[in-house]
Amino acid sequence: MPRNRQNEGSVLQKIAGSSRSFQSREFRHSVPVGIGDDAALFRSKPGHEMVLTCDWFLEGTHFLLRKHPPDAVGWKCLARAVSDIAAMGGAPRCFLLSLALPESHTGRWLGLFLGGLRRASRKFQCALVGGDTTRRNEILINVTVVGELPTGLAVRRSRAREGDLIYVSGALGGAELGLQSLRRAKGLASRNSPLLNNHLYPEPRLELGRWLAVRKLATSMMDLSDGLSSDLASLCHASGVGALLESGKIPQVQIPHDSPRSEKSLPRAKCWWWMSRATRRNSCPAAGIPSGKNCRRGQTANLTEGSAVQIGTRLWTGFGRIPQLA
């Protein structure tokens, strides 16, 4: 029996239908016009400024079609972009979804994908307000998030200074560990595996980001989705400083005995926490952090001239390891 063909209109209706359940009074005030018109209208709160970011999520590059559950793809494509808003101390408000996929995946796969996306949308209080779709052999996803924060309180990656301390908001390496486990497994990953949770369903540190921004405790913040060595190098480059860390003091997840890992993997280990830098005067006391806003001191940083990151005896840039220091 021939399959029912899905055209762009029916796919759009399916996406729009999945997003209608999350429309609070605050949402209707912020977005008076959403899906269904040529463009959406967004209204910022008085005394706030907008924060904008976008993120690609590509089959074969960021997820594996035969390994990643569709609902995890939906969750993670939004979480990745929302994490950038969190790292500036902002709150996400709405997002645009651009989706290219083959007709063979406009049925069950799309339905599960939208289920995960809807759960993430509710969790992060970030509603879908528009986007675009097209047909393509491989799946391509682009998410644009609109957020806001009080005017003048954005925490930028370019404000770190020599003598600042480096903090991370959780133990590092959980997402990378989950990815390694997923690659070794056969078929689709289990949604209920604790080992895979950080990789499949990351949660941006929204509350902690806003808390640090409002109290002006962090001089600079950045999310760590590309790995410690890459993202710390990017932050150092933006701020015109370097960083010296002791690898033994970096908070890490516990690695199961049966999980292979090369000695080079830790400095580049991906995670979904992010790092912040604070002056010694504004160091992050554990007693002053509200419950649920974990902030672990990852390492005292000796920030130096240049933009390289030395972890132990290795010197790293955003592109990987370069020769050891003399």
> Does 141 lie in the same domain as 166?
no
SS3 100: strand
Domain of 135?
8-150
CA distances to 103, 284, 301 from 17, in Å? 19, 44, 49
In a domain, 1, yes or no: no
pLDDT at 120 over 90: yes
Mean pLDDT over all residues of the chain?
77
In a domain, 50, yes or no: yes
Give the domain-ending residue among 123, 150, 177: 150
| Residue 264, pLDDT score | 37
| Residue 307, pLDDT score | 47
> Does 45 lie in the same domain as 165?
no
Domain count, the chain: 2
| Residue 71, pLDDT score | 96
> Does 317 lie in the same domain as 176?
yes
| Residue 44, pLDDT score | 85
Non-local CB neighbours of 91 within 8 Å, separated by 6+ positions: 85, 125, 147, 148, 149, 206, 210
pLDDT band at 253 (very low <50, low <70, confident <90, very high): confident
- Across the range 68-97, mean pLDDT stands at 95
> Does 266 lie in the same domain as 251?
yes
Report the first-to-last Cα separation within the chain, whole angstroms.
70
pLDDT at 25 over 70: no
> Does 285 lie in the same domain as 168?
yes
| Cα Dmax for the chain | 71
| Residue 194, pLDDT score | 77
| Residue 10, pLDDT score | 72
Q: Which of 275, 272, 274, 296 is nearest to 284 (CA)?
A: 296
Give the domain-ending residue among 150, 183, 208: 150
> Does 196 lie in the same domain as 291?
yes
| Residue 143, pLDDT score | 97
Q: pTM (2 decimals)?
A: 0.79
- Whole-angstrom distance, CA of residue 147 vs CA of residue 169: 21
